[in-house]
Amino acid sequence: MSATYDSKVLSEGIDKFSSCRILVVGDVIMDEFLWGRVERISPEAPVPVVQVEKESLVLGGAGNVVNNIISLGGQALLCGVTGSDAMGRELVHMLQKMNSPTHGLVVENRRPTTIKTRVVAHSQQVVRVDREEREPVTAASIERIITTVEEQIDSIDAIVVSDYGKGVVVQGLMENIRLLTGGRQITLTVDPKVQNVALYKGVTLITPNHQEAELMSGIVINDEESLRRAGTRLLDELGCQMVLLTQGDRGMTLFEGNGRTTQIPTVARKVFDVSGAGDTVTGTFTLALAAGLTPRQAAVLANLAAGIVVGEIGTATVAASRLKEVLLSGRAGRD
């Protein structure tokens, strides 16, 4: 079935975002952008020479989920690991400017803060350079994160696990989070990494993209039937309540444990950059559930939010006012 929505109900849901508190656990990344123009090819190799005109830093990974939640009016606390370096300190400073608590961050002296540097010229990404450590963080760091989750568990509405495969999301962390959320009315959402699929059993929701869903389910998705089988297999094998499968320009599909499948067509009018769009989907969907909206209503809002950010260059977020504007413009089917 295709999703329809009542704009008044969704608008009221957005108004409730400010009362929702989300704990975000996962891989913290700094997204660095070098913006410039290309006027010649290098004489040293057949590559463009980018004349850098400006630089910018944006929270990425789990930090981008926090940024999206706060931009939408919600409250968010970040738990993750940074290095004892300039980028780690800048990341803390950026969170403080957003009035987001930083006591959930753990500093590892021998580990660099993960940095993704993108060089963009004439609205086109030319190259990306990653500086990172993918080995698991220390057991002591995991213990400190678990302690923070324990301290916050009675004052939060949901937990988002943002897994970028940088060493924070490990078996011990996920086991403890499941134990702490068990029996509580707390949504547990995972933005997954394929190699860690076994860690996500029993969560409320996972949000894989098309390629991730294929690899995690072992099913090549090339039509509606294979899409349905892949989503259903993930529901069954992981024992989760929902799978929100994002499909780029084909929108997204929500699979629920009660057997209901809902297709949400894309609303993006233009696509400049998909950087961070998955973080926007995960953050918006989780925040909407915490605000009392149904899974289908949450999926509609997440789809609208994603349609906004892919129209921007670089890692972008959505303000609640902008989401309302798009919602009321009628870019998706209404009841």
The one-letter code for the residue type at 222 is N
- Residue linked to tokens 């949000």: 207
Region of residue 90 (phi > 0: left; psi between -120 and 50: alpha; otherwise: beta) = alpha
Alpha helices in the chain (DSSP H): 7-15, 62-71, 86-97, 139-152, 171-181, 210-217, 224-238, 277-290, 295-309, 320-328
90, 30 contact by CB (below 8 A):
yes
Q: What are phi and psi of 42, to 5 degrees?
A: -65, 140
What the block records as the tokens of 18 is 């400010």
The C-alpha atoms of residue 231 and residue 22 are separated, in whole angstroms, by 26
Cα–Cα dist 247/253, whole Å: 8
**Per-residue pLDDT of the chain in tens (335 residues, 90 and over written 9):** 556 678 899 999 999 999 999 999 999 999 999 999 999 999 999 999 999 999 999 999 999 999 999 999 999 999 999 999 999 999 999 999 999 999 999 999 999 999 999 999 988 899 999 999 999 999 999 999 999 999 999 999 999 999 999 999 999 999 999 999 998 999 999 999 999 999 999 999 999 999 999 999 999 999 999 999 999 999 999 999 999 999 877 889 999 998 899 999 876 555 444 555 889 999 999 999 999 999 999 999 999 998 888 766 655 678 888 999 888 876 544 43
Radius of gyration of the chain (CA): 19
283, 160 Cβ separation under 8 angstroms: yes
Which residue among 15, 154, 279, 335 is the active-site one?
Answer: 279
In sequence order, what are the residues at sequence separation of 6 or more whose Cβ sits closer than 8 angstroms to the Cβ of residue 129? 116, 117, 119
CA distance 88 to 105: 10
What number of residues does the chain have? 335
Q: Which residues of 125-142 are buried (b: 16+ CB within 10 A; e: fewer)?
A: eeeeeeebbeebbeeebb
Query: Which residues 6+ apart lie within 8 Å of 32 measured at CB?
Result: 55, 56, 57, 115, 116, 117, 118
For domain 7-35+51-328, give its CATH number from 3.40.640.10, 3.40.1190.20, 1.10.486.10, 3.90.226.10.
3.40.1190.20
Structure tokens at 83: 């290095």
**Looking at the DSSP assignment, which residues form a beta bridge with residue 5?**
334
Q: Which amino acid is at 174?
A: M
pTM over 0.85: yes
Could you tell me whether strands 252-256 and 242-246 are parallel, antiparallel, or unpaired per DSSP bridges?
antiparallel
Q: Is 273 a catalytic residue?
A: no
